[in-house]
Amino acid sequence: MRSRKNMVRKILSIFLPVFLSVVINPKVSAYPAQNEKLGLKYRAVMDDKLPDGVIFTEPSKNIKGHKLVAESDNYQLYFKEDSLSVIVRDKTTGAIMESVVEGDVRGNAIAGWQSFLKSGIVLKLIKGINLNHVVVGADEAERDVKLTGDGFYAKLYYEEYGIGFDVHVSLSEDQLIVEIPNRSIVEDKDEYKIGEIYVYPFLGHTHMGDRSGYMLVPDGNGAMIYLNDKNRRFSSNYSQYVYGRNIGIDEPYALSLLMNRYQSVNEAENIMAPVFGMVHTDSEMGYLGIIESGDYSAKIEAYPNGAYTDYNWICSKFILRQIYIQPTGKREGHVIARQERRNEFDIRVRYCFVSGEYANYTGLALKYRDFLLKHGIVVPRHDNFRIRLDFLGIDKENWLIFKRNVTMTTVNNIKEIYKELKDAGVTDIISVYKGWQKDGINALPIEKYAADGDIGGNGKLTALIRECESSGIEFYLYQDSLRINPSIKNAAFNVVKQITKRVYEEMTYKDVFEKFRFLTPAKTRQVMIRSAKSYINNGVTNIMLGGITNILFTYTHKGNLYTRVDTANIYESAVSELSGKLNFIMEKPFSYLWKYTNAIADMPISTSNYIFTDEEVPFLTIALKGLIPMYSEYVNFEANKEEFFLKLVETGVYPSFYITYEDPAKLQYTNSSDIYSSRFAVYKDDIIRYYNELKKINDLTQGAKIISHSQFSNGLTVVSYDNGVKIYLNYNPDRVITADGYAIEPMSYVVGGGK
């Protein structure tokens, strides 16, 4: 196996420089160049022809039984009371988006799904501990509706179920805002409780392959599900929690394990931001949905046609209660239980409409960028290019009856690496030191500044930090404030218990430390404040936060139930309190923490590759490029480094390497055994090449923002910046593509334009 890896490395060392040399100036190629009419990728399966009944060019007081109730400069809002249905009309083009299906729908959905087609608001009610929900729409409720000038306000009450709530819908400029205040929710009968609320699930829906366009799902960096006829290939849909699954209440899913031990399938990407979208390319109308409140207990769901209904639809749903399995014994026996305390939060969804040339995923990303800035969700940071070089200090292996250190990268090793890179011209560096603490990377939690003696101890580490400050290197220490290692620390108290009252344990499927527990958020806050005090006393201010940045959960503590809202509030409070004292970068942070971080580490640039998604798009990186530095996942572990390099060029995400001074073979019997390729001597040349080529591009795009992004069916991608720079990327492995007078070689790129 090692000889095979060495052979691959030799091959890469021969061909990688050739591929990297094709950059700013195109050159003569052995491949035939082809001038061709460029077609956007989605148009290979959809033709953008307008069907009848989707354009209403003449202004009207009524459309399809809906009455005009509000109007802005660019849009009109129409309303139908019996179903709380709305229609939004673009005043310039006459294009509309509808929220219900008109006419008989009995043949277009399986039993139990008709309410989604016919109602603006849909409830799934829990009856006792019945696993089958009762589904009801707005048409089944008693309604008291008042028009408000910018929309309407409706009070709904279901007499049979003893359930009621208020809905406020308003049109503000180019945005439709839907709100359900938590204080308005009433549950008068113990038998029935609200399980889930769907907010305008069919807004912008399309039937089978009747329309052209796509749904935008927030999987990884972004993905599209085309609106073409799926020929009933899919029986399932996209359904993911905003901010990842809830480990405190959801049943753990079965991992695909090789030999019952080795994880062979990657987990799905978490949703980092509470967004989704629908675009009708044929009528040039679309929207970006943003969950402004309720995101901690929300899911994004997207249904291609054939999955339960004949329609394409995407929506947010809000989880107020769940049914769970309560064990009655340590080994066997259980009962079905219903969550007693409702998840309490206001529901607020903002639909930002786009039209014309902005009716595409780039237009949605630009809308999101504007939203982030306007609402202070992102604080713009200096977006200077740096290459990220993270180091592993120490891990542990079993030895006799003890565990001993396996030292991979010492302070002196890091100094040596920096010197070699400086001599090669690599000076703009950001680094995160993992496993620096006493007893190594899995000695958690870190409660004070105490470097292990095997890497050099506090004295040498502090001296390195000072040297980095003087030389312009940003050097961070890694801090996981979520986990506690029960093999090293006392983990009997202040640890997370699930709603079932059982202690949650995260399995590692490794030999040395088989499991971790999670600290309660209150304990995490204590640990963070205590460790921050120790850092500051030792002159350390740069910390990379992990663990708490990309997980939220429900938990119980001392008999009380705490929701994901509670968890997020405590985490944000702790980070906010320390952000003025420490400089944070964060590991895959969820959007509610973006305002506190100086950079986003491990930014996904691809997706989970669900079978029903049709195209990957860099939605998040378009929105964030130029606002905050983003660093990729580690280059070392990418199977297709050639394509990954092009993705870095395309997205403006900066490269990351996970480096050890020693051969990673030494990690074979540690929890870091999955680090199979990391030795600096192997990656030195790659680091220098990545640095030189990507820095050249950044010198041209620094401070600029992406304003256009197009993916074509022939493998060409074109990225445009607001300073005039254009980047042309050819993902086609077989031939040269010409565009705007440039010849882009296979699996390469050209930079053009600029002021």
Q: How confident is the model at residue 257 (pLDDT cuts 50, 70, 90)?
A: low
Q: Are the C-beta atoms of residues 657 and 645 closer than 8 Å to each other?
A: no
Residue 31: pLDDT over 80: no
What local confidence, expressed as pLDDT, does residue 691 receive?
99
Q: Which residue from 573, 696, 632, 566 is spatially nearest to 246, judged by alpha carbons?
A: 566
Q: Is 198 helix (H, G, I), strand (E, B) or coil?
A: strand
Average confidence score pLDDT of the chain: 92
pLDDT by residue (tens digit) across 575-619?
999 999 999 999 999 999 999 999 999 999 999 999 999 999 999
What local confidence, expressed as pLDDT, does residue 335 receive?
83
pLDDT by residue (tens digit) across 515-540?
999 999 999 999 999 999 999 999 99
Mean pLDDT of 713-720: 97
Q: Are the C-beta atoms of residues 616 and 607 closer than 8 Å to each other?
A: yes
Cβ neighbours for 250, distance < 8 A, ≥ 6 positions apart: none
Map tokens 């073409």 to a residue. Answer: 228
Cis peptide before 629 (omega within 30 of 0): no
Residue 557's DSSP bridge partners are: 560
Q: Using a pLDDT cut of 70, give the percent of the chain over it.
A: 92
- What dihedral do alpha carbons 241, 245, 251, 255 form, nearest 10°? 110
How many other C-beta atoms are found inside a 10 Å radius of the C-beta of residue 425? 11
Q: Are the C-beta atoms of residues 353 and 370 closer than 8 Å to each other?
A: no
What local confidence, expressed as pLDDT, does residue 20 receive?
36
Residue 722: pLDDT over 60: yes
Q: Are the C-beta atoms of residues 125 and 161 closer than 8 Å to each other?
A: yes
The answer to whether the Cα torsion of 609, 611, 616, 621 is positive or negative is negative
What local confidence, expressed as pLDDT, does residue 127 receive?
94
Cβ neighbours for 20, distance < 8 A, ≥ 6 positions apart: 645, 689, 693
> Could you tell me where the beta strands, DSSP code E, fall in 99-162?
121-127, 134-137, 142-147, 151-158
What local confidence, expressed as pLDDT, does residue 48 receive?
86
How many other C-beta atoms are found inside a 10 Å radius of the C-beta of residue 89? 24
Residue 454: pLDDT over 70: yes
What local confidence, expressed as pLDDT, does residue 26 receive?
36
pLDDT by residue (tens digit) across 282-340?
999 999 999 999 999 999 999 999 999 999 999 999 999 998 888 877 666 678 889 99
Map tokens 């679309």 to a residue. Answer: 286
What local confidence, expressed as pLDDT, does residue 21 receive?
37
What local confidence, expressed as pLDDT, does residue 753 receive?
83
Q: Is 331 helix (H, G, I), strand (E, B) or coil?
A: coil
What local confidence, expressed as pLDDT, does residue 680 receive?
99
> Could you tell me where the beta strands, DSSP code E, fall in 408-490?
429-434, 474-480, 483-484
| CA gap 200, 182 in Å, rounded | 18
Residue 370: pLDDT over 90: yes
Q: How confident is the model at residue 755 (pLDDT cuts 50, 70, 90)?
A: low
Cβ neighbours for 51, distance < 8 A, ≥ 6 positions apart: 210, 211, 282
Residue 505's DSSP bridge partners are: 517
Residue 191: pLDDT over 90: yes
What local confidence, expressed as pLDDT, does residue 262 receive?
59
Q: 112 or 86: whose pLDDT is higher?
A: 86
In the chain, the domains with their CATH numbers are 69-244+273-324+343-374 (2.70.98)
Output the pTM of the full model: 0.93
Q: Is 603 helix (H, G, I), strand (E, B) or coil?
A: strand
pLDDT by residue (tens digit) across 39-93?
899 888 898 889 888 999 998 999 999 999 999 999 999 999 999 999 999 999 9
Angle at 148 between CA 144 and CA 152, to 5 degrees: 50
Angle at 307 between CA 304 and CA 313, to 5 degrees: 40
Angle at 65 between CA 64 and CA 66, to 5 degrees: 95
What local confidence, expressed as pLDDT, does residue 44 receive?
87
Cβ neighbours for 82, distance < 8 A, ≥ 6 positions apart: 138, 139, 143
Q: Using a pLDDT cut of 90, give the percent of the chain over it.
A: 84
Cβ neighbours for 620, distance < 8 A, ≥ 6 positions apart: 218, 221, 222, 272, 273, 365, 603, 604
How many other C-beta atoms are found inside a 10 Å radius of the C-beta of residue 729? 22
What local confidence, expressed as pLDDT, does residue 260 receive?
57
What's the start-to-end Cα distance of the chain, in Å?
50
Q: Is 509 helix (H, G, I), strand (E, B) or coil?
A: coil
285: phi then psi, degrees, rounded to nearest 5: -140, 140
> Could you tell me where the beta strands, DSSP code E, fall in 322-450?
323-327, 334-338, 347-355, 387-392, 394-399, 402-407, 429-434
Angle at 716 between CA 714 and CA 719, to 5 degrees: 155
Q: How confident is the model at residue 255 (pLDDT cuts 50, 70, 90)?
A: low
Q: What b/e string do you get for 25-37 counting C-beta neighbours within 10 Å, with b at 16 or more? A: ebeeeeeebeeee
Please report, for residues 122, 420, 497, the alpha-carbon distance to residue 330 in angstroms, rounded to integers and kept in the order given.
39, 57, 15
Q: Which two tokens stand for residue 672?
A: 């870091």
